[in-house]
Amino acid sequence: MRITALAAAFLCSLTLTAGTHLAVAAPEGPDVKVLQSHPLPGIPGKSMTSVLVTFPPGFRDMPHHHVGSVFVYVLSGSMRTAFGSSPPMLLHAGQSFFEPAGIHHRIAENASSTQPLRLLVTTVAPPDAPPATYDSTH
């Protein structure tokens, strides 16, 4: 499976689910590897998907939101992130955050200009949900 740079960037963002068709990633964008995706038994219309996302040094995603809920765990590197009107947070390896469905994700970026950022991202969303919806003003 492959994905566009914008959609891949925040699967972190990220509602990749079973059956989603992915497009080609730009070389300067994040690398996304789908680890698993399964329908959730007993929860009709929802799938859980886990992906490994690697942001190259200095990568910054565009502001966006997700249809589903997103859990992000920082495997290595440092991430700067901000939601809604909250101040930016700097997260390091071993830290995590939860992104409620529909919240405006203003900042999602690799805080390092020299080291990649690796994230384990798990989403719960409808199987046909887009990975992210990007702000039309950016």
Question: Residue 138 falls within a domain, yes or no?
Answer: no
The model scores a pTM over 0.85: no
Domain with residue 59: its CATH number is: 2.60.120.10
Q: How many domains does the chain have?
A: 1
Q: Which residue segment(s) compose the domain that 113 sits in?
A: 5-131
Measured torsion, CA atoms of residues 111, 112, 113, 118, in degrees rounded to the nearest 10 = -100
Question: Residue 137 falls within a domain, yes or no?
Answer: no
Sequential pLDDT tens for the chain (138 residues): 334 333 343 343 443 333 333 333 434 789 999 999 999 999 999 999 999 999 999 999 999 999 999 999 999 999 999 999 999 999 999 999 999 999 999 999 999 999 999 999 999 999 888 888 898 754
- Three-state DSSP class for residue 73: strand
Distance CA 130, CA 48 (A): 14
